[in-house]
């Protein structure tokens, strides 16, 4: 198989080195190039400093077939990338008339006079292919390899600007320049609230099989991504291998365990809302330790009003009684964090909202408030619907934030399992247990 072309990524901006924002460009570009059959051999971040940017770029140019730089294309003194690139490639900077016109038009449209120094953004290395920026001011550019210099892609810093530009660069420049590179397919299966170790065990022989199609597990507070990666030369063969591996994984974990498939970026709340909308079901939430996080996760998604009818945050015992009709005697006898209280909260929320299904969460997020019987991390959940009510106790690890995030995800996953008639507890398909 062809060797993947080597890419180096350079992020520029002193703010990155001062820790003001994370270098997500390096992360997202790495993923993109990996999926496109390249090997990313290094990242660097450099401040707005001409000699250091020069040294970083020089180093990258000696060890890559393609260098990708982001940021540093603005109009100010400290935006040095265009000068450093032109210098190292031995090219003059030439004004791009269309880029200049686009800059002027952008300012005209906003009713602002363009400061003359901004026009420097249209000065690009001679012979480059301009990547016009319809989403911001700084144009990017692509330099094909010249003599001993590898290809270079210079992009502005903001992700919403460089994303569409790099798509064009792939179509028009990069794909043709590296035609023989391996092809890759990345396919993700997203699973919620299943122990990573259980999944690991169920899939262990597939990890070993993995030369042909790699398998990886990535876990983060109750969200596990099972990632399938196939590398090869032929698209049809890659599709076949991914589909064969997917079938083996589903055979072990159960068809319905993943809440979504395919895409890398997707959330449980999106999947739950889609499943509820499909069935025309409505939901209410009654939260204590999550402080409204479950309702917030759902209402972050446009169109959630068709599903979420109401949400309560009942933190005190009085509020549980007053707002949801929980019998104070139940709280007194069993405690606020108990099966009985969780059930009464869910039943109350369903009754008061008229929703088809209600979910309640009541737990001890910590750091204080735990006991031997109910340690920090103990959380009770209850579901109430026309079939009756179901309650579950879970004990989550970690600090307050972790317990609350696990709880939010568990609440959503319990509702999803209830409406799909899946076992609320089984971590995996019965055949694999």
Which residues make up the interface to ligand ATP (CB under 6 A)? 11-13, 16, 21, 23-25, 70-74, 79, 136-138, 156-158
Q: Decide whether 56 or 378 has the Cβ nearer to ligand ATP.
A: 56
Q: Decide whether 64 or 391 has the Cβ nearer to ligand ATP.
A: 64
In whole angstroms, how close is the CB of 211 to ligand ATP at the nearest point? 34
In whole angstroms, how close is the CB of 59 to ligand ATP at the nearest point? 18
Measure CA 121 to chain center: 32
In whole angstroms, how close is the CB of 7 to ligand ATP at the nearest point? 15
**Rg, C-alpha atoms of the chain:** 27
Q: Decide whether 79 or 356 has the Cβ nearer to ligand ATP.
A: 79
Q: Decide whether 25 or 304 has the Cβ nearer to ligand ATP.
A: 25
Long-range CB contacts for residues 258-267, cutoff 8 Å, separation at least 24:
258/189, 258/190, 258/191, 258/226, 259/190, 259/191, 259/192, 259/413, 259/416, 260/190, 261/187, 261/188, 261/189, 261/190, 262/187, 262/188, 263/188, 264/31, 264/186, 264/188, 264/225, 266/188, 266/190, 267/297
Q: Decide whether 136 or 210 has the Cβ nearer to ligand ATP.
A: 136
Strand order in the sheet with 183-192: 213-220, 223-232, 183-192, 258-262
Q: Residues with Cβ < 8 Å from 179, sequence gap 6 or more?
A: none
In whole angstroms, how close is the CB of 120 to ligand ATP at the nearest point? 11
In whole angstroms, how close is the CB of 145 to ligand ATP at the nearest point? 23
Q: What are residue 235's phi and psi, to 5 degrees?
A: -55, -45
In whole angstroms, how close is the CB of 14 to ligand ATP at the nearest point? 9
381 CB-side CA count, 13 A = 26
* Other CB atoms within 10 Å distance of the CB of residue 137: 20
* Other CB atoms within 10 Å distance of the CB of residue 77: 9
In whole angstroms, how close is the CB of 153 to ligand ATP at the nearest point? 13
In whole angstroms, how close is the CB of 28 to ligand ATP at the nearest point? 8
| CA torsion through residues 18, 21, 25, 27, sign | positive
Q: Decide whether 46 or 428 has the Cβ nearer to ligand ATP.
A: 46
In whole angstroms, how close is the CB of 2 to ligand ATP at the nearest point? 30
In whole angstroms, how close is the CB of 300 to ligand ATP at the nearest point? 21
Q: Which helix (H) or strand (E) holds 108?
A: helix 97-109
Long-range CB contacts for residues 277-281, cutoff 8 Å, separation at least 24:
277/303, 277/306, 277/307, 279/419, 281/307, 281/356, 281/357, 281/419
Q: Decide whether 74 or 311 has the Cβ nearer to ligand ATP.
A: 74
Q: Decide whether 123 or 196 has the Cβ nearer to ligand ATP.
A: 123
Q: Decide whether 23 or 413 has the Cβ nearer to ligand ATP.
A: 23
Q: Decide whether 23 or 287 has the Cβ nearer to ligand ATP.
A: 23
Q: By C-alpha distance, which of 422, 425, 299, 281 is closest to 358?
A: 281
In whole angstroms, how close is the CB of 24 to ligand ATP at the nearest point? 4
Q: Decide whether 12 or 188 has the Cβ nearer to ligand ATP.
A: 12
The secondary structure of the chain in percent helix, strand, coil, rounded to multiples of 5, reads 40, 25, 35
b/e map 264-280, b = 16+ CB within 10 Å: eebbbbbbbbebbeeee
Peptide linkage before 367 cis (omega within 30 of 0): yes
């Amino acid at each position: 198989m062809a060797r993947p072309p080597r890419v180096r990524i350079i992020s520029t901006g002193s703010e990155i080195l001062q820790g003001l924002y994370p270098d997500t460009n390096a992360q997202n570009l790495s993923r993109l190039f990996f999926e496109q059959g390249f090997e990313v051999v290094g990242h660097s971040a450099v401040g707005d400093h001409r000699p250091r940017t020069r040294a970083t770029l020089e180093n990258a140019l000696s060890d890559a077939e393609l260098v990708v730089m982001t940021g540093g294309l603005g109009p100010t003194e400290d935006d040095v990338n265009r000068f450093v690139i032109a210098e190292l490639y031995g090219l003059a900077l030439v004004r791009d008339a269309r880029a200049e016109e686009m800059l002027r038009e952008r300012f005209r449209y906003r009713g602002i006079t363009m400061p003359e120094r901004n026009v420097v953004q249209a000065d690009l290395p001679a012979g480059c292919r301009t990547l016009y920026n319809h989403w911001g001011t700084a144009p990017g550019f692509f330099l094909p390899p010249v003599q001993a210099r590898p290809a270079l892609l210079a992009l502005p810093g903001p992700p919403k600007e460089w994303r569409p530009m790099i798509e064009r660069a792939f179509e028009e420049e990069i794909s043709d320049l590296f035609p023989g590179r391996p092809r890759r397919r990345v396919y993700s299966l997203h699973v919620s609230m299943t122990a990573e170790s259980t999944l690991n065990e169920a899939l262990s022989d597939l990890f070993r099989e993995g030369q042909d199609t790699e398998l990886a597990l990535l876990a983060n507070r109750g969200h596990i991504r099972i990632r399938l990666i196939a590398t090869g030369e032929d698209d049809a063969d890659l599709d076949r291998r991914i589909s064969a591996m997917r079938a083996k994984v589903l055979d072990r974990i159960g068809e319905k365990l993943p809440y979504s498939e395919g895409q890398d970026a997707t959330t449980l709340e999106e999947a739950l809302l889609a499943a509820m909308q499909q069935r025309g079901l409505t939901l209410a939430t009654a939260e204590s330790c999550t402080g409204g996080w479950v309702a917030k996760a759902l209402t972050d998604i446009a169109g959630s009003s068709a599903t979420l009818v109401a949400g309560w945050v009942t933190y005190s015992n009085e509020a549980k009684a007053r707002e949801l009709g929980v019998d104070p005697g139940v709280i007194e006898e069993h405690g606020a964090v108990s099966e009985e209280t969780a059930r009464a909260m869910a039943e109350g929320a369903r009754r008061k909202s008229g929703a088809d299904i209600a979910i309640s969460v009541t737990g001890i997020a910590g750091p204080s408030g735990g006991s031997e019987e109910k340690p920090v991390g103990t959380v009770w959940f209850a579901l109430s619907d026309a079939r009756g009510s179901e309650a579950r106790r879970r004990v989550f690890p970690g600090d307050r934030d972790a317990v609350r995030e696990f709880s939010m995800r568990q609440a959503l996953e319990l509702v999803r399992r209830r409406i799909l008639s899946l076992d609320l507890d089984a971590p995996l398909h019965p055949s694999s247990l």
